[in-house]
Amino acid sequence: MSVEFDQIQIEPAYRKVASAIGGRILDRTLREGDRLPPETELARQFGVNRSTVREAFRELESNGLVTRRPGSKLMTVSRPQHFAIAEAVTRGLVLHDVTFIEVWEGLRLLEPPLAEIASRARTADDLAQVAAAAAQFASGNTETGAAVHRAAEFFRSVGRATHNQVLMIAQEPLLQLLEPSLQVMIDKVPQARARIMTAQRKISEALRERDADGARTWMARHIRDFRKGYEIAGIDLELRITAG
């Protein structure tokens, strides 16, 4: 029997350097705000050329693990922001041909329990942010893009009120995909904006009263309304979403 093996892939030196530095960041040996040694010193420690260290820094910077502060020649340890993490997931979902119905199902499963958690965890500052987001949507701006973005911002404000980073990061890709899908629908359904305002008001009240059942119930209604809106607008829920 003849057996064939794949060729051994030789990893570029800069990737090994990036992996070594990234490992120290992920195991918290290096923490956010720590300054890394100069390129020349790291080149000496790793036994590589300075250009190899520079290329490793580019890879780490693209992943949000290091940054160069204004006026400094040294790289500083950072951490990727929630929005940046989500953008990579959003791009992946778009490339996997995610559809209206898939995004809606994701929101239906995530947002009601998220609102319930927020009703228990919210602070006074969180309530102010939720109220501000609802007020922004209700401010009367008729431009579609602004209205859609403000609808998504309300969800984000509720997500932040959970104080759960896992939930916030899980929520963000769905909201980034909600915006282009909502933009297709919102102006085709005359009652859409009024119903969104009503739901936002009821959810805000439930959060203020720490009414977990009310927050969950009204958020579930809010998400169901999106599907009704798509159906009234005659939008095929199997259509692929194109990121804006």
Specify the DSSP element, H or E, that contains 83.
helix 82-95
Residues 52 and 170 in one domain: no
Query: Residue 243 falls within a domain, yes or no?
Result: no
> Domain ends where: 48, 77, 106?
77
Q: Are residues 188 and 221 in the same domain?
A: yes
Nearest 5°: the CA angle 111, 114, 115 is 90
User: CA 14 → CA 62, 67, 126, distances in Å?
Assistant: 14, 17, 43
Residues 66 and 50 in one domain: yes
In this prediction, residue 190 has a pLDDT band, given cuts at 50, 70 and 90, of confident
Last residue within a domain, chosen from 77, 110, 125: 77
* 139 and 201 assigned to the same domain: yes
* Each residue's pLDDT tens digit, 132-176: 999 999 986 668 888 899 999 999 999 999 999 999 999 999 999
- Average pLDDT in the chain: 91
Read off the CATH number of the domain in which 207 is found.
1.20.120.530
Q: Is the dihedral of CA 146, 147, 149, 153 positive or negative?
A: positive
> Domain containing 57: what range?
13-77
Residues 226 and 50: their CA atoms lie apart, in Å, by 54
Classify residue 214: in a domain, yes or no.
yes
Inside any domain, residue 149: yes
Lowest mean pLDDT among 15-19, 48-52, 180-184: 180-184
163, 50: one domain: no
pTM for the full model? 0.79
Mean pLDDT of 181-194: 87
- Structural domain includes residue 7: no
**Residue 135: which of 204, 213, 33, 219 has the closest Cα?**
204
Instruction: Please check whether residues 221 and 136 belong to one and the same domain.
Output: yes
Is residue 228 one of the residues assigned to a domain? yes
